[in-house]
Chain A
Amino acid sequence: MIFRQPPFAMATYIVRRLLWMIVLLLVISFLTFLIFSKLPSADPVSLRAGRNATPELRASIRHTFGLDKPFFEQYRIYLAKLVPFDTHKGFKPPDFGYSYQNNVNVKAQILDRLPATAGLALGGVVVWLLIGIPVGIISAIRRGKLSDRIAMGGALVAISAPVYWLGLVMQYLFSSDIGKVHIFKGSGSYPNTGSLFTDPFHVAPTLFLPWLVLATAFAAIYARFLRGNLLEVMAEDYIRTARAKGLRERTVIFRHGVRSAITPIVTILGLDLGILLGGAILTESVFNIPGIGRLAFDSIQKSDLPTVQGTVIMGAFFIIALNLIVDIVYAFLDPRVRY
């Protein structure tokens, strides 16, 4: 493969973006810390101390949590643990602290839940691409015809349906235990050990319905988006050239048309995947999948700051990382892009 530009250009670009990532994560960690320290929904000390706690007990708990220190001191301590570098020990693994709620190591808990979210997100991505892309292409080709109108009308419904509602309705219709027709496994079937990556044959069936529910809205969005893109692309000059060259219409549509129309999809796909990896809260809740989204939701309800911070930073990390990956991939897809 010939490099289109000096070989260092891509490398310096990546390094620059990685540095930016670090800056962004720092800013985000600070903002989250600020928000949850200054505007807590509940007092974690009171939650932990329970009813009838004496002031001394509460003070003791406050001290254990380090909440009696001044704000910036708290943040400094937090940051020192988070940053994977120490002046004495050199590189060290980042420490996200311990949950106020049950004293669990936050990082361990997040990593424990990551496979569930990843399995849900990645599978969902595959399903919605498999549905959305063909629908988008067919709609564009048969623009104005009945199949196009039905597809786009259906897409509108799919986008409008709230995920939680859809999840419940699907379960009441198709779940193997409480549904009218027993096809798919429903809520609670996701196993407590193992994930899609370690035990695919066992875990995948429990994810069919969640993937379908998650994918519905996205498939619709992508179908509409691709349809619009493809219609625009088919009006471009190089399509006219392709036809003038005497290529088969199918080749013109796919090799020339779809190939161009699909590159912006890569960008939004990366973003959507990044957001989902931070936790698909609604789908995880309605199907009882122990992922990061549910963890974030539970910890926000309980004002468990360290866990909330951890999930926010993890979510931010995924979004930024995927953003970067997508931009790099884009350079390979579109040779005009240069860094």
Chain B
Amino acid sequence: MMRTPKRVAMLAALLALALFVAACGSDNNDEGGSVKSSAGQKIPQGKQGGEVTVLSAGDVDYMDPGQMYYTFGYMIGYSVNRALYSFKPDNAEKPVPDIAASDPEISADKKTITVKLKSGIKFSPPVNRAVTSKDIKYAMERVFSANVPNPYATGYFGTIQGAPKTPAKGIPSIPGIQTPDDQTLVLKLTEAKAATIAAALVMPLTMPVPEEYAKTFDAKNPSTYDTHVVFTGPYMVKNDASGNLTGWKRAKSIELIRNPSWDKSTDYRPAYLDKIHVDEGNADATVASRRILNGSALMQGDGAPPAPVLKQAATRFKNQLVLVPAGGTRYVAMNTKLKPFDNLNVRKAVFAIFDRNAMRLTRGGPIVGDIAWRYVPPGIPGFDEAGGLNPPSDLDFAQNPAGDPAVAKKYMLAAKDDGVPVTADGKYAGKEKLLMIATNADPGKKSAQVAANQFEKLGFKLNFREVTQDALYTKFCGVPKANVNICPNVGFFKDFVDPESFINPTFNGENILPANNTNWPQLDVDSLNKAIDAAAILAPGDERNKAFAKIDNDITALAPAVPWLWDKTPLIESKDVQGVADNYSTVWHLSFTSLK
């Protein structure tokens, strides 16, 4: 969609008004400053008992830990299942042993990992028996089956000896996963990647699954274990005698009750609440947010409060709002394989002109997060080493969050010398329309429109198309052949707490895929690729963090995308709820929440 000058002027006027109002209403970061942040929080004590209702718009994607993928699924999943390692709410960087008894032991050649398991952990009814290492082995094997499609299986665990390269018929037996005794699990790898694998043992696919019970369900394609899951967490989904999850009414509600097999002494979780009721289908976020803020015993599920309600919450309901560093970076990706963004100076000019404050305003202003300077977000190791919340001191085009027209002009004129068609006053002179694919839903739509304006400031002409969020990833931005020039609505949120996941799939030229591509700028710089590969095999620790921090800055210097926001996820609750935020999955942590 072409923006006529009149519309641009109107939008600019509206933005100016909005900025004016925002400036009048608060002073820059005051709003965000006076609201609680969960970073570095202390875990409070809570009262036993009570029931809370969680309001969500959608449903969990899966109950099956082997297939769980979306954040909301994690919110439920982590309160009913235990993985080998997990994160306590006050520390999202270092996992603690959960079903494991101690930290994983890594062999000297970095090809073997040994994990010892606690005893006394049992499955919920109807299975009701103790968890053994065999259950972990089965859980990890089943995700390599075609019946339990899990994208993380080969991606993260493909280096286990005997792991199938393609989805197997039935449940494969993987020799590299060994169970010398009931409390010991050994992983043998084909490469020296023990450090990465060890970090990945927090993933849901390590949550135990009893083979004798699950195999009938897993024999079907797709597996029907999803509606018959058995649980190891303090809570469980209500089920009947045959294991059928009667408490899960799809897209309607979920009933969580206490798991009678859970032994408090084996767990760090207090599990104050007796019951949790999840009410789904609350499609209108404003109505749901208002109900939470004004009501009793309600909490937010998925669906952040929209900007106007958020503003209200930040002023009138301060004690019911918590901001959680979301562990993600939003950026506007430019296709470096197509003109004109194949030219570095052009990209630097775009970076320079970008009004990132205005972008942030479309999501609600300073309260929703910090301006992003690079691609690895706060809360991830290496963030501070790369420069933390300060702009990169050595990059003049990345200094000013409001945009810097003078610097932009300088780089456009430099691009002119490279042969790019640029007018004398630094505007792009090419006539072609650059394809920009945006999402059709707010607030992403608004952000995309503001992004479009930034490009137009430099004279670029755009073919602005709106599509659904899913299509954006699966048909356009994620498909190099679609030749999209600009993807304003992309970003990367953590899979787990490691800088590699923000750098490798997203900026390594070797990881440009023909479909489901996440290297949206299609950056492919040989020296950079090598550096990333070298850093990836380093063990977790200072050396690794420093290496990725340097790479983060090097990529920023290449300006393949304009980072603009390090989200803080707002979480709201009713006034009688004492919620504890989970810094890892950026949702309320149900096992630590209590009523006041």
Q: B468 is contacted by which of A48, A171, A186, A301 (Cβ under 8 Å)?
A: A301
Knowing A51-B151, A52-B516, A64-B221, say if A57 contacts B284 (CB, 8 Å).
no
Interface residues of A (CB under 8 A from B): 41-43, 46-61, 63-64, 101-104, 109, 112, 168, 171, 177-178, 186-188, 192-193, 285-286, 288-290, 294-295, 298, 301-303
A295 touches B287 (CB 8 A): no
Which residue on A lies nearest to B146, using beta carbons?
A60
Q: A177 is contacted by which of B61, B146, B224, B294 (Cβ under 8 Å)?
A: B294
A49 touches B167 (CB 8 A): no
A178 touches B290 (CB 8 A): yes
A52 to B165 Cα, complex, angstroms? 14
Q: How many whole Å from B69's CB to the nearest CB in chain A?
A: 5
> Which of B97-105, B391-399, B473-481 forms part of the interface with chain A?
B473-481
Which residue on A lies nearest to B220, using beta carbons?
A103
B468 touches A57 (CB 8 A): no
A42 touches B167 (CB 8 A): no
Q: How many whole Å from A113's CB to the nearest CB in chain B?
A: 9
Q: How many whole Å from A256's CB to the nearest CB in chain B?
A: 48
For A102, the chain B residues whose CB sits under 8 A away are 59, 61-62, 226, 250
Q: How many whole Å from B557's CB to the nearest CB in chain A?
A: 26
Q: B250 is contacted by which of A58, A109, A186, A285 (Cβ under 8 Å)?
A: A109
A58 to B146 Cα, complex, angstroms? 10
B281 touches A43 (CB 8 A): no
Q: How many whole Å from B253's CB to the nearest CB in chain A?
A: 4
B253 touches A192 (CB 8 A): yes
B425 at the interface (CB under 8 A from A): no
B166 touches A168 (CB 8 A): no
Q: How many whole Å from A306's CB to the nearest CB in chain B?
A: 13
Q: Which residues of chain B from 218 to 255 have any CB-CB distance to chain A below 8 Å in the complex?
A: 221-222, 224, 226, 249-253
Size band of the B side of the interface?
A: 35 or more
A171 to B279 Cα, complex, angstroms? 18
For A302, the chain B residues whose CB sits under 8 A away are 470
B516 touches A51 (CB 8 A): yes
Besides A51-B516, A192-B253, 5 more A-B contacts (Cβ < 8 Å) are A51-B518, A54-B151, A102-B59, A187-B282, A294-B251
Q: A286 is contacted by which of B152, B283, B514 (Cβ under 8 Å)?
A: B283
What are 5 A-B contacts defined by CB distance under 8 Å? Answer: A43-B515, A52-B505, A52-B516, A52-B518, A186-B291
Q: How many whole Å from B238's CB to the nearest CB in chain A?
A: 12
Residue among A64, A188, A295, A301 with max Cβ neighbours from chain B (10 Å): A188
A301 to B458 Cα, complex, angstroms? 35
Number of A-B residue pairs at CB separation under 8 A: 137
A57 touches B154 (CB 8 A): yes
A58 touches B516 (CB 8 A): yes
Which residue on B lies nearest to A301, using beta carbons?
B468
B287 touches A187 (CB 8 A): yes
B120 at the interface (CB under 8 A from A): no
For A50, the chain B residues whose CB sits under 8 A away are 69, 151, 516
A41 touches B287 (CB 8 A): no
B222 touches A52 (CB 8 A): no
Q: A64 is contacted by which of B146, B152, B287 (Cβ under 8 Å)?
A: B146
Q: A46 is contacted by which of B58, B279, B515 (Cβ under 8 Å)?
A: B515
A54 to B146 Cα, complex, angstroms? 12
Interface residues of B (CB under 8 A from A): 55, 58-59, 61-62, 69, 146, 149, 151-155, 165-167, 221-222, 224, 226, 249-253, 279, 281-284, 286-288, 290-291, 294-295, 467-468, 470-471, 473-475, 478, 505, 514-516, 518
Q: How many whole Å from A91's CB to the nearest CB in chain B?
A: 26
For A295, the chain B residues whose CB sits under 8 A away are 251
For B284, the chain A residues whose CB sits under 8 A away are 168, 187, 285-286, 288
A178 touches B474 (CB 8 A): no
Q: A288 is contacted by which of B69, B153, B283 (Cβ under 8 Å)?
A: B283
For A168, the chain B residues whose CB sits under 8 A away are 284, 286-287
Q: How many whole Å from A152's CB to the nearest CB in chain B?
A: 32
A57 to B153 Cα, complex, angstroms? 10
Which 3 pairs from chain A and chain B are nearest by CB? A42-B470, A46-B474, A56-B166
A295 to B221 Cα, complex, angstroms? 24
For B282, the chain A residues whose CB sits under 8 A away are 187-188, 288
For B165, the chain A residues whose CB sits under 8 A away are 56
Knowing A52-B155, A58-B515, A285-B283, say if A301 contacts B146 (CB, 8 Å).
no
For B251, the chain A residues whose CB sits under 8 A away are 290, 294-295, 298
Q: How many whole Å from B341's CB to the nearest CB in chain A?
A: 24
For A47, the chain B residues whose CB sits under 8 A away are 470, 474
A294 to B149 Cα, complex, angstroms? 27
Which residue on A lies nearest to B147, using beta carbons?
A64
For B151, the chain A residues whose CB sits under 8 A away are 49-54, 57
For A48, the chain B residues whose CB sits under 8 A away are 149
A290 touches B152 (CB 8 A): no
Q: How many whole Å from B565's CB to the nearest CB in chain A?
A: 20
B281 touches A294 (CB 8 A): yes
Q: How many whole Å from A295's CB to the nearest CB in chain B?
A: 7
Q: How many whole Å from B194's CB to the nearest CB in chain A?
A: 20
Q: How many whole Å from A196's CB to the nearest CB in chain B?
A: 16
For B287, the chain A residues whose CB sits under 8 A away are 168, 171, 178, 186-188, 286
A178 to B293 Cα, complex, angstroms? 9
B250 touches A303 (CB 8 A): no
A104 touches B474 (CB 8 A): no
A290 touches B281 (CB 8 A): yes
